[in-house]
A and B are shown apart, each in its own frame.
Chain A
Amino acid sequence: DAGVIQSPRHEVTEMGQEVTLRCKPISGHDYLFWYRQTMMRGLELLIYFNNNVPIDDSGMPEDRFSAKMPNASFSTLKIQPSEPRDSAVYFCASSLGAIYNSPLHFGNGTRLTVT
């Protein structure tokens, strides 16, 4: 299995622009998570899906952030408009079923820089 695939690996954009991050989870996994990693705040859970349905988006910082999962093999995280404080590494992770049976499998992340 190729693992969780994220694209792009790096994104540099100007303040005010729309940014879309993409994730392909491991085939068969029914949970998908979006995390944001910064030096100051560590790994923060933004939102997670179960069977393509958003379950908890309480970690989404504000309305500028939105996430979708149109099917079991694809998810997007969109920031519109982007701001410099959104600069971070964004990780997607997937897991299968109950937490005891399967750990979170992370992608290699997208490093976002907003200037």
Chain B
Amino acid sequence: QQQVKQSPQSLIVQKGGISIINCAYENTAFDYFPWYQQFPGKGPALLIAIRPDVSEKKEGRFTISFNKSAKQFSLHIMDSQPGDSATYFCAASTSFSGTYKYIFGTGTRLKVLA
């Protein structure tokens, strides 16, 4: 119940295309859903995050769509660029009952072709 399932494992997109990465969770106590971006040799860095009281959040070319009833959320990268080539991790966290859980998906390796 603590898992966050992420798909696809890898993704190749043409420059200018839309990249879509999906995640699903089971624990309804999760109440914060961030996406992290990781470049080779670097640690993950926060890209965008959403709380379950909204269904969509957009920041520039990056959008999170959230479906609370289905317990799913996704990252959309519009007008994908070669510089977006990185590994993307979804995550889910909760501070319910004084414990602090921060669980990551298994990652999606995105390659944007020039």
Listed in ascending order, the chain A residues whose CB lies under 8 Å from chain B are 4, 31, 33, 35, 41-43, 45, 48, 50, 55-56, 91, 93, 98-100, 103-104, 106-109
Contacts and interface: CB of A to CB of B under 8 A. Distances in A.
Given A42-B104, A43-B89, A100 B51 contact: yes
Contact of A42 (B46, B49, B106): B106
Interface in B59-114: 89, 93, 95, 99-100, 102-107
Given A50-B100, A103-B34, A43 B44 contact: yes
5 contacts: A41-B106, A50-B100, A91-B44, A104-B36, A106-B43
Q: Which 10 pairs of residues, A with B, have the shortest CB-CB distance?
A: A106-B43, A103-B46, A42-B106, A43-B104, A99-B32, A106-B44, A108-B43, A107-B43, A99-B93, A91-B43
A3 B7 CA distance: 30
Interface in B26-52: 32, 34, 36, 41-46, 49, 51
Given A91-B43, A108-B43, A45 B103 contact: yes
Contacts of A4: 43
A56 B97 CA distance: 13
Interface of B: 32, 34, 36, 41-46, 49, 51, 89, 93, 95, 99-100, 102-107
Contacts of A99: 32, 93, 95, 100, 102
A45 B102 contact: yes
B100 A31 contact: yes
Contacts of A56: 99-100
Given A43-B104, A56-B100, A100-B32, A108 B93 contact: no
A21 B89 CA distance: 24
B102 A33 contact: yes
B6 to A, nearest CB: 8
A16 to B, nearest CB: 28
Contacts of A42: 89, 104-107
Contacts of A31: 100
Nearest to A42: B106
A109 B100 CA distance: 22
